A and B are shown apart, each in its own frame.
Chain A
Amino acid sequence: MRTITYREALREAMREEMLRDERVIVIGEDIDGYGGTYAVTKGLADEFGRERVRDTPLAEEVIVGAAVGAAMAGMRPVAELMTMNFSLLASDQIVNTAAKVRYMFGGQTHVPMVIRMPAGGGAQRGAQHSQTLESWYAHIPGLKVVMPATPYDAKGMLKAAIRDEDPVLLIEHELLYGIKGEVPDEGVDFTVPLNRGEVRREGRDVSLITFSRCVHLCMQAAEELAKEGIEAEVVDMRCIRPIDLDLALDSVKKTNRAVVVEEGWKYYGTGQGFAALIYEYGFDDLDAPIQHVTGVDVPAPYAKNLEKAAFPVRNDIIDAVKRIVPQRVAR
Chain B
Amino acid sequence: MAISKSDVMLAGLSREQLLDLHATMLLIRRFEEKAGEEYTLGKIGGFLHLYIGQEAVATGAIKPLRPQDVVISSYREHGHALVKGSDPNAVMAELFGRSTGVSKGKGGSMHIFDDQHNFHGGYAIVGAQMPIACGYGLAQKFAGKGDITMTFFGDGAVDEGAFHEAMNLAELWSLPVVFICENNLYSMGNALAKAWSVSSLEPRAAAYGMAYERVDGMDVLAVRDTAIRAIDRARNQSKPTLIEAMTYRFRGHSMADPATYRPKDEVELWRTQRDPIVLFEQKLREAGIDQETLTKADDRAIQIADAAAAFADSSPFPDLSELTQDVMIDPTGAIAWRRPRK
Contacts and interface: CB of A to CB of B under 8 A. Distances in A.
Contacts of B327: 102-103, 141-142
A243 B161 CA distance: 34
A165 B106 CA distance: 21
Contact of A56 (B72, B106, B169): B169
Nearest to A113: B135
A168 B244 CA distance: 37
A110 interface: yes
Contacts of B113: 101, 104-106, 108-109
A313 interface: no
B136 A243 contact: no
A143 to B, nearest CB: 8
B25 interface: no
Contacts of A67: 135
Contacts of A54: 173
A243 B103 contact: no
Nearest to B333: A242
B121 A101 contact: yes
A109 B104 CA distance: 13
Contacts of A102: 326-329
B103 A59 contact: no
A106 B337 CA distance: 23
Contacts of A73: 70, 135-136, 138-140
B326 A61 contact: no
B107 A59 contact: no
Nearest to B175: A66
Contact of A166 (B132, B139, B330): B330
Interface in A62-109: 62, 64-75, 77, 92-93, 96-97, 101-109
Given A106-B107, A108-B115, A66 B102 contact: no
A285 B13 CA distance: 78
Interface string B182-211: 000000000000000000000000000000
Interface string B84-111: 0000000000000000011111110001
Contacts of B115: 108-109
Contact of B134 (A69, A71, A96, A164): A69
Nearest to A62: B165
B334 to A, nearest CB: 6
B309 to A, nearest CB: 20
A contact patch SS? mixed
A194 B135 contact: no
Contact of B172 (A57, A103, A144, A277): A57
Contacts of A97: 123, 125, 128, 132
A281 B139 contact: no
A281 to B, nearest CB: 7
A45 interface: no
Given A69-B135, A101-B121, A242-B333, A96 B326 contact: no
The contact size tier of chain B is 35 or more
A51 interface: yes
B131 A64 contact: yes
B7 to A, nearest CB: 37
A133 interface: no
B332 A242 contact: yes
A325 interface: no
Given A102-B328, A141-B327, A166-B328, A75 B125 contact: no
A105 B132 contact: no
A106 B128 contact: no
B182 to A, nearest CB: 20
Contact of A104 (B111, B131, B134, B330): B111
A70 B128 CA distance: 14
- Most-contacted residue by chain B among A69, A96, A103, A105 (CB, 10 A): A69
A4 interface: no
A103 B162 CA distance: 23
A241 interface: yes
Contacts of A144: 328, 330, 333
B315 interface: no
Contacts of B243: none
B14 interface: no
A57 B142 contact: no
A196 to B, nearest CB: 10
B111 A75 contact: no
Contact of B337 (A56, A69, A281): A281
A195 B165 contact: no
A74 B330 CA distance: 17
Interface of A: 25, 51, 54, 56-57, 59, 61-62, 64-75, 77, 92-93, 96-97, 101-110, 141-142, 144, 164-166, 194-195, 241-243, 245, 277, 281
Closest 6 CB pairs of A and B: A69-B135, A65-B131, A106-B104, A73-B139, A105-B113, A62-B165
5 contacts: A62-B131, A64-B131, A72-B135, A102-B329, A166-B333
Interface of B: 70, 72, 101-107, 111, 113-115, 120-121, 123, 125, 128, 130-140, 142-143, 161-162, 165-166, 168-169, 172-173, 325-330, 332-337
Given A65-B162, A69-B136, 11 more contacts: A69-B139, A70-B139, A72-B120, A104-B107, A105-B103, A106-B104, A108-B103, A110-B328, A142-B328, A195-B332, A242-B333
